[in-house]
Amino acid sequence: MITRDIRNFVLIILFPCFIFGHKINIFATVEGNKIFTQSYASDGRKIKGGIIEVYDKSGNKLLSGVTDSLGEFSFVIPKKDDLKIVIIGGMGHRAETIVPAEDLPEIVSPKMERAQTSQNKESSKSPSRADIDTVVIRRLIEDAIDRRLHPVIKIIAEQKKEQIRFTDVVGGIGYIFGIVGICAYFMGKKRNA
């Protein structure tokens, strides 16, 4: 009887189709003053039109948006805080990731920056070209690095995709047979008693 059961079972699992996972993931990286996110289902499909929501540590919603056709969404960092980024894929699919505050750069709004530089100008009477230049140069370098790193970050995100491992599948089946077997053992003991 059991060999036939096993045969039936093999018939069922050999039904040829695609073996993928079914769950969604979100991957977020800080790039300059922006956060870049990529979302995909664990079968590798990009999540188009998924709703992204960003919350701060105390659970206030800071912003929301929709992923593009590549499953990507970027936003300017709204606040230096532990940011919780949630993707809602519809039909009960949801995933979240947290970008800790220490990964975020100090947020300097352009206005403040200008104020700072003008203050510098006033305080030091000598022309402070050097100060302005350092700010500008730092910006340029950061931009260039971000642009260069963007593809690398994308590759890392691709590789982070979780795959269903065959060992887990076999292990799961083993668990089921083990647990049912233990139950059967106790039921059999009771029956014999």
Partner 1 sequence: MHIAEGVLSAPVLIGGATITVAGTAIGLKKIEYQDMPKIAVLSSAFFVASLIHIPVGPTSAHLILNGLCGIILGWASFPALLLGLFLQAILFQFGGLTALGVNTATMATSAVFCFLFFKGLAKSQNKLLNFISGFLSGFAGVFIAGLLVALSLSLSGEVFIPVAKMIVIVHIPVMVIEGILTGFVVLFLKRVKPELLN
Residues contributing to the site for partner 1 (CB under 8 A):
1-2, 4-6, 8-9, 11-13, 15, 17-24, 41-43, 45, 48, 86, 88, 90-96, 162, 164, 168-169, 171-173, 175-177, 179-181, 183-184, 187-188, 191
Q: What is the maximal distance between C-alpha atoms in the chain?
A: 100
What is each CA distance from 147 to 27, 28, 143, in whole angstroms?
18, 16, 6
Residues in the chain: 193
Residue matched to tokens 């060992």: 167
Shortest spacing between CB 102 and partner 1, in angstroms: 25
- Taking the complex as a whole, how short is the minimal distance between the CB of residue 176 and partner 1, in angstroms? 5
- Give pairs for 163-168: CB < 8 Å, separation 24+: 163/21, 163/42, 164/19, 164/20, 164/21, 164/42
Q: Which is nearer to partner 1, 105 or 174 (CB)?
A: 174
Nearer to partner 1, 92 or 110 (CB): 92
Which residues touch 162 (CB under 8 Å, ≥6 apart)? 21, 25, 42
Any residues with CB less than 8 A from the CB of 155 and at least 6 apart, and which?
none
Shorter beta-carbon distance to partner 1: residue 24 or 35: 24
Nearest approach in angstroms of CB 22 to partner 1 is 5
| Cβ at position 23, least distance to partner 1 in Å | 5
Between 12 and 151, name the residue whose CB sits nearer to partner 1: 12
Distance CA 96, CA 92 (A): 13
Element (H, E) at 52: strand 51-55
Residue nearer to partner 1 on the CB measure, 68 or 143: 68
Nearest approach, Cβ of 135 to partner 1 (angstroms)? 42
